[in-house]
C-alpha cells in the first residue's frame, strides 16, 4: 500500500471519528432536551382539591407570609398540586381523620425547582433578615442551611411531598401543635419536648411543650404513616409518599390550576 493510500485511509478514519462525535453530541443534546421537557410535564399531577374536596388551603409561598417574606417564584395561583398517586393517598388520610373529627389544611405541596432556587438566593443573602424574628429567631442563615431547613433540592419538587396540619371540625380552628409551620428550630422536630414518635410515650422536658401538643402531632403523623407517607426528622408537618412515582425528577412547571 503506497503512502497516498495510507493518507487516504487515515482521512476516512478521522472523518468517521468526527462524525461519530457529532452524532453523540446530537444525541446528548436530544437527551438534555427530553429531560428539560420532562420537568415541565404536569400530566401526572392533579389539583388536590379535585381529589380531596374538603381540604383547606393556606398556600404560604403564594403570599408574603413566609420565611422569605415575598411571593416565591413559580407560585402563580394559591392552589396545591400533587402527583395522582400522592393525592389518592392523601384522600385516604383525609377520610381517616374525618372519622376522628379533623380535616386537613395544606401549606404547601408540589414546589417547582424555581421556587427552591428562590429559597437558595434568599439563604445566600445574609443581609436579609426581615423575617428572622418570626421564623428563625435562634438561628443564623448558615444554621438554617446546615440544618437542612433549606436545601438546593427538595422532595416537594418531585410532586409527592406535602406540608400540612389538622383542623378541629367542631371549632374550625387549627389543632395546637406546639409550634407553627416553617419554624426553623428543634421545636419543630417530631420528637421535641420528650416525645417518642415510635412508642408514643411522652416524658416532658420542656415546660412550654405539653403532652397534648405532642399527641396532636402524633394524630397527624399516625394517619399519614398509615396511608403510605413517610415523615421528616426535623419538621412535624412534612411528609412524602413512600412509593413516589417520580423519585428522580425535579419538576419546574408553575403552580397554577391544572386544566383537564
Assign 191 to helix, strand or coil: coil
Of 76, 85, 148, 235, the active-site residue reads: 235
Q: Contacts for 28-32 with beta carbons within 8 Å, 24 or more apart?
A: none
Gap between the Cα atoms of 138 and 32, Å rounded: 42
187 catalytic residue (yes or no): no
Taking residue 234's Cβ as centre, other Cβ atoms within 10 Å add up to 17
Cβ–Cβ < 8 Å for 84, 210? no
**Residue with cell string 404513616:** 225
Secondary element (H or E) of residue 161: strand 161-168
CA torsion 96→108→56→102, rounded to 10°?
30
If you count them, how many residues does the chain have? 260
Q: How many CB atoms lie within 10 A of CB 140?
A: 12
Annotated active-site positions, please?
235
Amino acid at each position: 500500500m503506497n503512502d497516498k493510500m495510507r493518507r487516504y485511509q487515515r482521512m476516512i478514519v478521522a472523518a468517521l471519528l468526527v462524525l461519530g462525535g457529532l452524532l453523540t453530541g446530537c444525541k446528548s443534546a436530544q437527551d438534555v432536551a427530553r429531560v428539560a421537557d420532562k420537568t415541565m410535564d404536569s400530566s401526572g399531577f392533579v389539583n388536590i382539591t379535585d381529589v380531596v374536596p374538603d381540604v383547606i388551603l393556606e398556600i404560604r409561598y403564594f403570599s408574603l407570609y413566609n420565611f422569605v417574606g415575598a411571593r416565591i417564584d413559580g407560585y402563580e395561583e394559591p392552589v396545591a398540586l400533587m402527583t395522582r398517586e400522592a393525592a389518592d393517598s392523601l384522600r385516604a388520610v383525609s377520610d381517616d381523620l374525618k372519622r376522628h373529627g379533623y380535616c386537613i389544611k395544606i401549606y404547601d405541596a408540589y414546589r417547582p425547582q424555581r421556587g427552591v432556587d428562590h429559597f437558595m438566593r434568599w439563604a445566600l443573602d445574609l443581609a436579609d433578615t426581615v423575617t428572622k424574628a418570626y421564623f428563625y429567631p435562634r438561628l443564623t442563615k448558615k444554621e438554617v442551611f446546615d440544618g437542612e431547613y433549606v436545601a438546593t433540592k427538595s422532595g416537594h419538587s418531585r410532586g409527592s411531598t406535602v406540608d400540612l396540619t389538622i383542623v378541629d371540625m367542631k371549632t374550625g380552628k387549627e389543632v395546637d401543635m406546639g409550634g407553627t409551620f416553617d419554624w426553623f428550630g428543634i421545636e419543630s422536630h417530631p420528637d421535641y419536648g420528650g416525645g417518642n414518635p415510635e412508642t408514643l410515650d411522652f416524658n416532658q422536658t420542656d415546660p412550654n411543650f405539653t403532652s397534648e401538643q405532642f399527641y396532636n402531632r402524633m394524630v397527624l403523623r399516625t394517619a399519614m404513616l398509615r396511608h403510605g407517607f413517610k415523615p421528616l426528622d426535623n419538621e412535624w408537618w412534612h411528609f412524602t409518599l413512600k412509593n413516589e412515582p417520580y423519585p428522580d425528577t425535579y419538576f419546574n412547571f408553575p403552580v397554577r390550576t391544572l386544566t383537564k
